[in-house]
Amino acid sequence: MVNVYKKLISYAKEKRHFLFMTIIFSILAAIVQVSAFYYLFQLLENVIVQVNMNGAKKYAFMFAGFLATGGILYFLSLTVSHLFAFRVETNLRKYGIDGLANASFKFFDVNSSGRVRKLIDDNAAQTHMAVAHLIPDNIGAMITPILLLILGFFVSVRVGAVLLVMTMVSLVLLKLMMGEAQFMKRYHASLERLSSETVEYIRGMQVVKIFGVDVRSLKALNSAIKDYAQNALSYSLSCKTPYVLFQELFFAISAILIPLILLIVDLSGNLKLLSLELIMVFFLSGVLYTYIMKVMYLSMYIFQAQDAVSKLENLYDEMHEDALQFGDETEFLNHNIEFENVSFGYKKDHLILDHLSFKLKENKSYALVGASGSGKSTIAKLISGFYNVNGGEIKIGGKNITSYTKDALISQISFVFQDPKLFKTTIYENVALAKKGATREEVVEAMRLAGVDAIISKFKDKENTVIGSKGVYLSGGEKQRVAIARAILKNAKIVIFDEASAAIDPDNEHELQKAFSNLMKDKTVIMIAHRLTSIRNVDEILVMEGGKIIERGSDKELMSRDSVYKHFQKIYKTANDWRVANESAV
């Protein structure tokens, strides 16, 4: 428990004083509230034993005054702890934002944006309860029972002893209620299974409906639901006896004590004092009950907080673990690219590239060719500089890319990946952001060269059309053209282009080709094109298979022998010439 709080507190060091204030206020609140019951005791003593009503009135005010003061102090501690909790939440989000800026692209490839957002949003908010409500309550729950016992003994040894016994018995019952660790484990396992079956069920719903087979997945979900309910029920049943006994102990304490008194105590003594003690037991045990209940819920909330913090930390660790490294070099001697024994994979035990080495010369154009999964997109991504390799070095201008400053590196490289994204602002802004301080002419020229002018002519607001607004739809190929306009404006020496195969529509493909050839001029170019006919004039073609470069050379060289490349060209032609045929109709 202490660990969870230590962690949470470390996220809001600047508001640490709030935490101390919370603690102090809650301790004071506990002391003052228990003191109130001392005055209740005095009050009742005046009423019952001394029959002094004026004295009683005085204590009545003290009792109520102390209770109210205690209430105010508790309220203050709650307010301060809320302020602290808000800050923890804010800082947890900020920490997430920091992580984003440094994370390698691998993190974003592996984690969907929605999942990352939801994890951070939900779990940061989850910590609120643990910090805002539980810190004051925890302290109250820990201190008040002790203070109550002290007060009990102050009233009389008998009252103190009864309360002590009640506390100990209830702690034993509480322990029974917590159940075995094994049990909780099973419960949580069934909860997790339920959650993943629900996701699976919903994910497959369209298929399930289309094929009319709701049997299997519904069955699996049903069994997960039943299993969870069964576990919850048996947990609930196992708690029943201790919980009911615990409640009975406190609610029906008079029914336990009265027979005991009749059996043990000599009733010829001071009956008034005895009555006073009895009623004090009744009151104090009531307060004790409230706090012991709080202790009971404590563990549940602590568990939730722990869960939230560990989910966040796992995510943040993942971000920071793979954070990008940069150096302080700013000068590029040339733009030759070199892979030296580079290994890379999304999972440690599954490398996509394994000790790959090759060199690319500046101002030449290269095309990567290969089946899906051969590693061609991976190479393009790695050159972007936003990935950490598992082994080996990627060099540009003879130096490891990690030795350059971030700004220097990104100023040298433009990339247009398969799925470029646009900001929810105007198309003009979306292009202009590629170069700080670009003039209007530059931006317009870049848009023209990339064929974006043809896209914006469809819209009423032209280049001021806002992405994401009503009726504004850009196809994948059109988005790539905007991305190419950015790259043209940026004018970096190295250009990487991964043609979006899925997104190319016939009316777009040629525009995209023209746009990219405008971008290619006088650059070092690495491209992945899906029309194998279009790459015949590049300086060199690199044929990939299983993460290795198995052939390289110009189109002419490779076509002149019995190469894999030649085979690719052949099946490409067959596929391209293929026709859908309804044989009966032919």
Partner 1 sequence: MKALFKKHFALTEQGATDLVKSSLATFAAYVVNMFPAMLLMMFFDKTLLLNERSNGFYYVASAVVLVLVYIALSVEYDSLFNATYKESENLRIDIARNLSDLPLSYFSKHDLTDLAQTIMADVATLEHALSHSIAKIIGFGGFFILISSMLLISNVKLGLCVISPIVVYYTLILLSKRIQTKSFHKYYKKRRENSDGFQEAIELQAEIQSFAMSEDIKKKLYREVEEGEKIHIASEFVGVTILGLAGLILYITHILVIIVGVSLLAEGEMNILYFLGFLLAGIKIKEGAEANAMNMAELFMVDSVVKRIGEIRNVKRQEGEDKELSDFDIELKDVSFSYDDSADVLDGVTFTAKQNEVTALVGKSGCGKTSILRLVSRLYDVTGGEILISNENINNISTKSLFDKVSIVFQDVTLFDTSVMENIRIGKPDATDEEVKKAAKLANCDDFIEKLENGYDTLIGENGANLSGGERQRLSIARAFLKDAPIIILDEIAAALDVDNENKIQDSLNKLTKDKTVLIISHRLKSIQNVDKIVVIDGGKVESEGKHEELLKTSRVYKDLIDKTALAEEFVY
Site for partner 1 in 357-386 (CB under 8 A): 365, 367, 370-373, 384, 386
**Shortest distance (Å) from residue 355 CB to partner 1:** 23
Q: Which of 340, 378, 331, 344 is nearest to 360 (CA)?
A: 340
Longest CA span, the chain: 121
Q: How far does the chain reach from its first CA to its final CA, in angstroms?
A: 75
Rounded to whole angstroms, the Cα distance separating 329 from 337 reads: 16
Select from 166-174, 249-257, 308-316, 325-333 the region that touches partner 1 (CB under 8 A). 249-257
Angular region, 526: left φ>0, alpha ψ -120 to 50, beta rest: beta
Rounded to whole angstroms, the Cα distance separating 117 from 124 reads: 11
Strands in 372-523 per DSSP E: 391-396, 399-400, 413-416, 494-498
- Interaction with partner 1 in 64-103: which residues (CB under 8 A)? 64, 67-68, 71-72, 75, 78-79, 82-83, 86-87, 89-90, 93-94, 97-98, 100-101, 103
User: Token match 């490349």: residue?
Assistant: 565
- Interaction with partner 1 in 253-272: which residues (CB under 8 A)? 253-256, 258-259, 262, 267, 271-272
Cβ pair 341, 356 in contact under 8 A:
yes
Select from 160-168, 173-181, 387-395, 418-426 the region that touches partner 1 (CB under 8 A). 418-426
Binding mask 560-579 for partner 1 (x = CB under 8 A): --------x--xx-xxxxxx
Rounded to whole angstroms, the Cα distance separating 158 from 244 reads: 25
Pinpoint the alpha helices (H) of 103-180: 105-110, 113-128, 134-155, 157-178
CB-wise, 168 or 244, nearer to partner 1?
244
CB-wise, 320 or 355, nearer to partner 1?
320
- Interaction with partner 1 in 271-310: which residues (CB under 8 A)? 271-272, 274-275, 278-279, 282-283, 286, 290
Question: Residue 466 gets which letter from DSSP?
Answer: B
Select from 142-150, 302-310, 352-360, 513-521 the region that touches partner 1 (CB under 8 A). 513-521
CB-wise, 243 or 391, nearer to partner 1?
243
What are the two backbone dihedrals, phi and then psi, of residue 347, each rounded to the nearest 5 degrees? -115, 150
Binding of residue 50 to partner 1 (CB under 8 A): no
Cβ pair 487, 519 in contact under 8 A:
yes
**Shortest distance (Å) from residue 556 CB to partner 1:** 13
Cβ pair 337, 383 in contact under 8 A:
yes
Binding mask 159-198 for partner 1 (x = CB under 8 A): -----------------------------------xx--x
Query: From the list 2, 181, 264, 586, which residue makes contact with partner 1 (rule: CB under 8 A)?
Result: 586
Rounded to whole angstroms, the Cα distance separating 15 from 18 reads: 6
Binding mask 471-510 for partner 1 (x = CB under 8 A): x-x-xxxx-------x---x----------xx-xxxxxxx
Cβ pair 134, 298 in contact under 8 A:
yes
- Interaction with partner 1 in 99-158: which residues (CB under 8 A)? 100-101, 103, 105, 108, 113-118, 120-121
Rounded to whole angstroms, the Cα distance separating 502 from 580 reads: 19
**Shortest distance (Å) from residue 2 CB to partner 1:** 26
**Shortest distance (Å) from residue 279 CB to partner 1:** 7
